[in-house]
Structure 1
Amino acid sequence: MLLSPQLSPGVQLQETIQYRLWILISSKGDKSPILRRMIRVRFLLLCAWAVAGEYAGSHQLHYSFTGISDPVPGLPVFSIVQYLDDQMTTIYSSDTGETRPGVSWMDKGDLKNWEDTLYQHKNWWTMAFKHNIKTAMSRFNQTGGFHVVQLMYGCELRHDNSTRLYYRYGYDGRDFITLDTDRWVFEPGVYEAQISTQRWNTAEDGAGQRWKHILEISCVELLKKYLDYERREPERRVAPEVKILAQESGGITVLHCWVYGFYPREVDVKWMKNGQDVVNLVESTPILRNNDGTYQFRVSMKVNPEDDGAYSCHIDHSSLAEERIVPWDHNRKRIWFIPIVVLLPFLALVTFNVRKIHVSAMAH
């Protein structure tokens, strides 16, 4: 039977395991080519699960639990992570058996006992995910291989005080069960999940209404509390580093303005030609968070190799007394640019005050 945590006002969550998965699929190691390909597929599918805020000025509290079928060097069998927006706030790994905060303000005020609830239930979570992986493999008639079970849910608070709520239970990077947060009904993502959703949707089980309370009330209240603590922290400012890199591609020069190592997150980067804004951007990457808490950003544009215009990258950031201008040197040798992507260890855990954990057992 499949065990599904039906949490009463509050619980814990976590994020994917992208960073360690990336190290695994990128390194030679002793893994067979087949296992490397399997991990790569799971990794790519899990990456697509990352849930970002849909509206400017919104904030999100995101939880994710991840369990894997077999031990793999460098990967925890079970992990829990919590994120406030793109900031990892708490993390648990079965490798160490320890839970630690990811931000300094987590140990302040009425948040200082944040670890208590997690410590009480992390062994149960580890057992439940191990059981659920075996159940899912049985549902799909699988007897071996590398498999991933993941639970992700959270809440987003928009600037107009409206909310967006979500719950997704996945297997091998695909939706297994989702929760319709308008009707509070669980929906199967695949045929093999129907047994579980039928049980969860019964009046006797009442899982939908419990999750309604968790997401609508507990999650949103905790999100507001976290935002309040974050705002009390002394404002930190780190000036950005800037590099301009040029790449030759099909007779066209692509200029990349790479801005990195800055804090806080908000930054304005643009290209100008002869003092005028340039709008033909090739791409603008998302603002990515580095492991040290700073951020990086890249803005690219196409240039005709025969164009002798004066191109420059302009950076405006709160750490700078004035706009920084970095000109492009036409005489610099072109290079093949390899974008640097900092992958975040999506292993974050948030803790609500758990009053009760109810387990629904679903027959095969």
Structure 2
Amino acid sequence: AFTEEHTLQFYFTALSTPLPGLPVYSIVGHVDDVLALDKESKYLILKCLSVYQLKFACYMVDDGSMSGYLEFGFNGKDFIVFDKERLVYIPATHEAELITQKWNQQKFSRHQNRDLIEKECTAWMKKYFHHGKFYFEKNVPPQVKITEKASGGVTKLLCHVYGFYPRDVDVKWMKNGIDEVYSDEAKQILPNTDGTYQIRASVEVTPRQGDSYSCYVDHSSLEKELIVPWEAKRSSSLYIVIAGFGVLLW
């Protein structure tokens, strides 16, 4: 069973010196992977940093609990992390140590940043979800496509899971319906242009008589886990899942 999680993220970027064709600062906000705010200006100029970045986010799960973080960057690298539980700034580099010492002496700003994560971000999250309730509460079941490529006695199996919403999904290859097949290839969930998501899981196997392989998919839109078998000597199989049931299309 999945615990549904939603994220509100803001990214602030500022330049110390204006560059042709670039804004001096920009603010971008996303609810999950949906653009919620995109703002830029050419009127704010900072004198102390070349490229200054700030990222903060809050998370809301379906039991109503909240969490979040606040991070600072400099020239594309981690610089300072704010620990909201201990109310302290933690340097990520030696260059940031002096600044964190000064910031940690400012009690008001530390409490203000905790409120930014726990109160203001939460309020914005609820506002965005109120206006986009239909979109964020939708459930779209995944489609699954299995392909294979054999070379030198080794077969590479690819399980492509796509068109699902919300984002969280569990995809893995199973052998004989019991053992998970290890793969050193990272699985990454990617957004689609229609607001849904996709993910690919691949493994290299040496098929032996009596062995079976299947792609295991678990998603909140499904009544139960989906187990799609790999059928040898077929180039691909396409499964469309509707309301928790699998329909095989040839």
| TM-score (norm. length: structure 2) | 0.68
Distance 1:326 1:306, change over 3 A: closer
AA at the equivalent of 2:110: G
Query: Equivalent pairs: percent with the same residue?
Result: 37
Alignment match of 1:87 (pick from 9, 29, 34): 34
Deviation at 1:292, TM superposition (A): 2.6
Contact 2:147/2:235 (<8 A) preserved: no
Contact 2:190/2:198 (<8 A) preserved: yes
Q: Is 2:154 the partner of 1:252?
A: yes
Give per-residue Cα distances to partners, 1:167-220, cap 9 Å, x unaligned: 1111133222222213323333334334533443344x8321221222222112
Q: Is 2:128 the partner of 1:226?
A: yes
Alignment match of 1:261 (pick from 159, 163, 173): 163
Distance 1:82 1:250, change over 3 A: farther
CA distance in 2, matches of 1:187, 1:222: 26
Contact 1:80/1:91 (<8 A) preserved: yes
More strand by share: 2
| TM-score (norm. length: structure 1) | 0.50
CA distance in 2, matches of 1:197, 1:215: 19
Aligned to 2:198: 296
CA distance in 1, matches of 2:95, 2:218: 52
Q: Which has the higher contact order (CA 8 A, sep 6+)?
A: 1
Distance 1:331 1:56, change over 3 A: closer
Deviation at 1:258, TM superposition (A): 0.7
Could you say what the CA RMSD is over the residues aligned between the two structures, in angstroms? 4.0
CA distance in 2, matches of 1:223, 1:303: 44
Secondary structure (helix, strand or coil) at the match of 2:49 reads: helix
Distance 1:180 1:263, change over 3 A: closer
Aligned to 2:12: 65
More helix by share: 1
Unaligned runs of 5+ in 1: 1-54, 95-121, 138-147, 334-364
Give per-residue Cα distances to partners, 1:130-156, cap 9 Å, x unaligned: x25xx335xxxxxxxxxx431111222
Give per-residue Cα distances to partners, 1:275-298, cap 9 Å, x unaligned: x34512425724322233111022
Aligned to 1:170: 73
Pairs within 5 Å for 1:307-346: 307=209, 309-313=211-215, 318=221, 325=228, 327-330=230-233, 332=235
Pairs within 5 Å for 1:269-284: 269=171, 271=173, 276-282=177-183
